Amino acid sequence: MSTAEIIARCEALYDDLDFTASRQWKEADPDRKVIAYMPVYVPREIIHAAGMLPLGIMGGGDQLEVIHGDAYYQSYICRIPRSTIELGLSKRMDFVDGMLFPSICDVIRNLSGMWKLMFPGKYVRYFDVPQNYRDDVGGNYYVNELNELREGLEELSGRKITDDALRASIEVYNENRQLAMDVYAMRSREPWKVPSADVYLLMRAGLVLPVEEHNQMLRDYLAAAEKVDAPKRDNCRVVINGSFCEQPPLNLIKSIELSGCYIVDDDYMLVHRWLQKPVSTSGDPMENLALAFLHESASTAAKYDTQEEDKGMFLLEQVRKNAAEGVIFAAPSFCDPALLERPMLADRCSEHNVPYISFKYAENSGQMQPIREQAGTFADSIKLWS
């Protein structure tokens, strides 16, 4: 298949707010169950080992009119919880058997409570993560959290989740993470061959497909992209930061690249790249997942930094590793984690002479011309004066 054919499939999955692919997976076997999850990260290996399908929910995007969701939240918060409620109340998620709400912010924590009230027959869990990264403190705490999730899914499925099943699932997700990183690495090397809109849609497809199918899709894309003959442009290389939860409209990503910027790294859908190295498949699988989170996970505003001097170092490493020339801080309006961290990250960029700009968006933003002009001016200024 060509890259265009693969991306056409991905875009159809992206546009489908009824989650037809996930529905069809469940309908193929009456014993199958689907567990949905919100950003930024959940241990999908445990869901997979239970024989269930992890389904990533990124809100309703710019295609969904929010009617009922506005009644549950005030206007001065981000849009993703309101559009997620709309997905639930409009029965687009009526096939989902459970929902996980990771520890991101107060809004998502409150959404987990609302979900329990709205859908009392469903499995709902607020999934917390450690803020202490010592093995004997945060590690023990997180192993307990993982085991509670394991027990909850066992009760829901009526089957034991064995250590061997967990190791097999860790192995298939290790492959998925490596393939996702390979796609990102190829874009960083040759961004004219691998448009960021392609990368984004590939990763979105992985939220609704079985991981084995997504792995094959990524392998097919990597092989097809090697054959792409596209002109190399004199674009500015940038890193996107702040878009780890509520996602930007696809047109925003396209507009940034049309403005003269190559996006060479980002924090979209970090669940595919949250664990930066392979998780061990020997020994206790729960302990291995916990240690990977403590010591090998990505950094984002939704994750606690124990030392002030560590703030911003992950971003600076992204800039260095990808030979980026600047940073674009793009965060959803009213995103407390991203917007509270932005000044600290901006200071870190200034200390290391990394140019940056910032703007805000909503998942249903429609007017892209101002963003395109701002990003274009930023790219021009870097080319002219940096």
Task: Give 110-141 pLDDT, tens digit per residue.
Answer: 999 999 999 999 999 999 999 999 999 999 99
Cis check: omega of the bond before 40, within 30 degrees of 0: yes
- In angstroms, what CA-CA distances link 375 with 252, 351, 363? 11, 22, 18
pLDDT at 386 over 80: no
Task: Give 34-78 pLDDT, tens digit per residue.
Answer: 999 999 999 999 999 999 999 999 999 999 999 998 899 888 899
Check residue 367 and give its pLDDT: 84
| Cα torsion angle, 289, 109, 207, 250, sign | negative
- Average pLDDT of the residues in 85-95: 97
- Domain boundaries along the sequence of the chain: 29-159
pLDDT at 366 over 90: no
Provide the CATH topology of domain 29-159.
Rossmann fold (3.40.50)
Of 78, 38, 86, 39, which Cα lies nearest the Cα of 60?
86
CA 268 from centre of chain: 5
Contacts of 367 (CB under 8 A, 6+ apart): none
pLDDT at 374 over 80: yes
| Rounded Cα gap, residues 164 and 282, in angstroms | 10
